[in-house]
Chain A
């Protein structure tokens, strides 16, 4: 736990971190991820807000979010729902419009990304004044939980192929646990057109193209505790298509 002194220093430095949580049917997970965010930001003392962008979940995610807003206060919990499921890129744009932080953190709301890494992201960002800090499953102490051999092989193979073709200067292209300077995310998001896995890859490839600096922090990725995580033929085909598109256009 942080000492009182660094707690105060973190609070006083004027930086604010807006966490964007796009959700769709995350009724079970949302309270837990919010609880963890509050816990770790409370310990580190950084100024923060959580912006939930729910895309009309039929399972009542929004209702749970409203309860959480009552518990944690509407300065910490902002709800920016949308009527139906739209793309991830537009979710970030939508969320960012209302973000008051000068840094934006994007992560999945399904508990595969643990908020305990956020203080490390922040520290890393300050070390090199990086434009973006990306969590990586592929380096150092990073890793995954809940993947069988087949899944690991596909993941490593797909990543290797992307590294060879794109030479992006970052080890985890499809990861979606990242910290951005707000201006950087704004300029990237409007350039990126891909969907799904490829969207995250396009973001980091374009970042390199625009000469933004990238820092990396090893993270453990715990695959969905509640709900299903899929990797089927469709995902692989769309990944390959996206990779080739980036190869030909960036």
Chain B
């Protein structure tokens, strides 16, 4: 099953459960409060996912390592390499 189908399946399952409760489709005569709580839940989920995404990406950008040491080590090694290669007879 492709990831797209997995998503569609998941979303339609959740959607079906939500619709059953929010609109009382099976006429289970659920208490009114159930319906009132269920009704805005998709919006809550969407907003919380958005917040989670922003927070995660923001945190990861802020903690992205700047590898300054790796860069200076590389620059040292480049010097060393050039000198050594010249000695070995490489014409750059």
B65 touches A141 (CB 8 A): yes
Chain A residues with Cβ below 8 Å from B60 are 138, 156, 160
B-contact 0/1 string along A214-225, CB 8 Å cutoff:
000000111001
Q: Which of A14-22, A143-151, A229-237 contacts B (4 or more CB under 8 A)?
A: A143-151
B64 touching A144 by the CB < 8 A rule?
Answer: yes
Task: Decide yes or no: A247 and B4 within 8 Å by CB, A142-B65, A144-B67 being known contacts.
Answer: yes
User: In the bound complex, how far is the Cα of B6 from the Cα of A143, in angstroms?
Assistant: 32
Count of chain B residues with a beta carbon within 8 Å of a chain A beta carbon:
29
In B56-92, the 8 Å CB interface with A consists of: 56-57, 60-61, 64-68, 70-71, 74-75, 77-78, 81-82, 84-85, 88-92
State whether A225 touches B4 (Cβ < 8 A): no
Q: Which residues of A contact B4 (CB under 8 A)?
A: 247-248
Assuming A36-B77, A138-B60, is B92 touching A145 (CB within 8 A)?
A: no
Distance, CA A27 to CA B56, complexed state (A): 40
Cα of A16 to Cα of B66 in the assembled complex, Å: 33
A248-B2 contact, Cβ under 8 Å, with A71-B90, A160-B60, A222-B74: yes
Count chain A residues whose beta carbon lies closer than 8 angstroms to a beta carbon of B. 39
Do A225 and B74 touch across chains, with their CB atoms under 8 A apart?
Answer: yes
CB of B53 closer than 8 Å to a CB of A: yes
Q: How far is the CA of A146 from the CA of B88 in the complex (A)?
A: 31
Q: A225-B74, A248-B2 are in contact. Are A156 and B57 (CB under 8 A)?
A: yes
A153 to B15, CA, bound (A): 32
User: Do A114 and B74 touch across chains, with their CB atoms under 8 A apart?
Assistant: yes
**Pairwise interchain contact B65-A67, C-beta atoms closer than 8 A:** no
Given A36-B77, A160-B53, are A220 and B65 also a contact pair (CB < 8 Å)?
yes
- Please, which residues of chain B bring their CB within 8 A of the CB of A164? 53
Q: Is the CB of B78 within 8 A of A32?
A: yes
A35 CB within 8 Å of chain B: yes
A111-B2 CB under 8 A given contacts A35-B84, A145-B66, A156-B61 = no
Q: In the complex, which residue of chain B has the Cβ closest to the Cβ of A164?
A: B53
Is A166's beta carbon under 8 Å from chain B? yes
CB-defined contacts of B53 to chain A, threshold 8 Å: 160, 164
Mark each residue of chain B from 35 to 73: 1 if its CB lies under 8 Å from any CB of chain A, else 0: 000000000000000000100110011001111101100
A: residues with CB less than 8 A from B are 27-28, 31-32, 35-36, 64, 67-68, 71, 111, 114, 138, 141-147, 149, 152-153, 156-157, 160, 164-167, 220-222, 225, 246-250
Q: Please, could you name 10 A-B residue pairs with CB atoms under 8 Å apart, sorted by A?
A: A28-B92, A31-B90, A32-B78, A32-B82, A143-B66, A144-B67, A145-B66, A165-B7, A166-B3, A248-B2
9 smallest beta-carbon distances between A and B, as pairs: A143-B65, A220-B67, A220-B70, A35-B81, A145-B71, A145-B67, A143-B67, A248-B4, A156-B60
14 additional A-B pairs beyond A31-B81, A31-B85, A247-B3, beta carbons within 8 Å, are A35-B85, A67-B90, A71-B89, A71-B90, A111-B78, A114-B74, A143-B65, A143-B67, A144-B64, A145-B70, A156-B57, A165-B3, A220-B65, A225-B74
